[in-house]
Chain A
Amino acid sequence: KNEVEQSPQNLTAQEGEFITINCSYSVGISALHWLQQHPGGGIVSLFMLSSGKKKHGRLIATINIQEKHSSLHITASHPRDSAVYICAGGSQGNLIFGKGTKLSVKP
């Protein structure tokens, strides 16, 4: 069993839909990271959270420490949100990564 698991593996949505990507982890972590990998390969950090909820624009990340579960939500999805979304759990910067969720938003 992978220590960090994401679901779904692939997700296709219509523009404007509300999207949820889930991440479960079995290791002890001090923070949960959400990353976005663009089709060209570049990776950017979206969120780092250790409790509660964070919001940036149309993106919302939540974490439930007791249930070892995090979700990434995208409101009013747009084709430019098409990317691979990766969650990673870590302690003091050392991360274990999920395999990613490939999101495709159709116009």
Chain B
Amino acid sequence: DADVTQTPRNRITKTGKRIMLECSQTKGHDRMYWYRQDPGLGLRLIYYSFDVKDINKGEISDGYSVSRQAQAKFSLSLESAIPNQTALYFCATSDSGGRGRTYEQYFGPGTRLTVT
């Protein structure tokens, strides 16, 4: 089974709808991240969480919210979807560094979201 899973893998929704993307991990990592990828722009950070009680905005958080329900689960919500939120969304996890541990990031398979 994959270490980092995302659901759904593909979603088409209409403008104004609320949508939630979910991410689960079995790596036991403290840190979780949500990115979006747009053609020609690369990956950009939306939100990140260093532990269950520590959530931080990234570069492009407007229009998004997140919830860290448990160490293993980190959800991304679009409260009222708009067409320019059409993108490929990735969840990732990493350890928190320290002796013998690294910040290497492990990515989920991605969710392709289309807002019409």
Query: Contact at B42–A100, with CB atoms within 8 Å?
Result: yes
Are A41's CB and B105's CB within 8 A?
Answer: no
Q: Which of B105, B106, B112 has the most C-beta atoms of chain A within 10 angstroms of its own C-beta?
A: B105
Q: Give min CB distance, B115 to chain A, whole Å.
A: 18
User: A44-69 CB contact bits vs B (8 Å, 1 = yes)?
Assistant: 11001000000000000000000000
Bound together, the chains give a CA A37 to CA B47 distance in angstroms of 21
Q: Choose, from B15-23, B67-75, B94-102, the stretch at the interface.
A: B94-102
Contact of A41 with B110 at beta-carbon distance under 8 Å, contacts A86-B42, A94-B48, A99-B42 already known: yes
B36-89 at interface with A (beta carbon < 8 Å): 40-45, 48, 88
Chain B, Cβ-Cβ closest to A40 = B109
| Interface class of chain A by DSSP | strand
**Interface residues of A, count at CB 8 A:** 21
Judge whether A97 and B107 touch: CB under 8 Å: no
**Minimum distance in angstroms from A43 CB to a CB of chain B:** 4
User: Which of the listed residues B43, B92, B112 has the most CB atoms from chain A within 10 Å of its own CB?
Assistant: B43
Contact status A42-B109, CB under 8 Å: yes
Query: Which residues from chain B contact A48 at a C-beta distance below 8 Å?
Result: 102-104
Smallest distance from the beta carbon of A1 to chain B beta carbons, Å?
14
- The docked-state distance in angstroms from the alpha carbon of A41 to that of B44 is 15
| Separation of A94 and B106 alpha carbons in the complex (Å) | 13
| A105 interface contact, C-beta 8 A | no
Q: Contacts of A99 on B, CB cut-off 8 Å?
A: 40-42
Could you list which residues of chain B lie within 8 angstroms of chain A, going by C-beta atoms? 31, 33, 40-45, 48, 88, 90, 92, 94, 96-97, 102-107, 109-110, 112
A-B contact pairs, 23 of them (CB 8 A): A30-B103, A31-B102, A31-B103, A35-B107, A41-B110, A42-B107, A42-B109, A43-B107, A48-B103, A48-B104, A86-B43, A88-B43, A90-B103, A93-B31, A93-B48, A93-B94, A93-B103, A94-B48, A95-B43, A95-B45, A97-B44, A99-B41, A100-B42
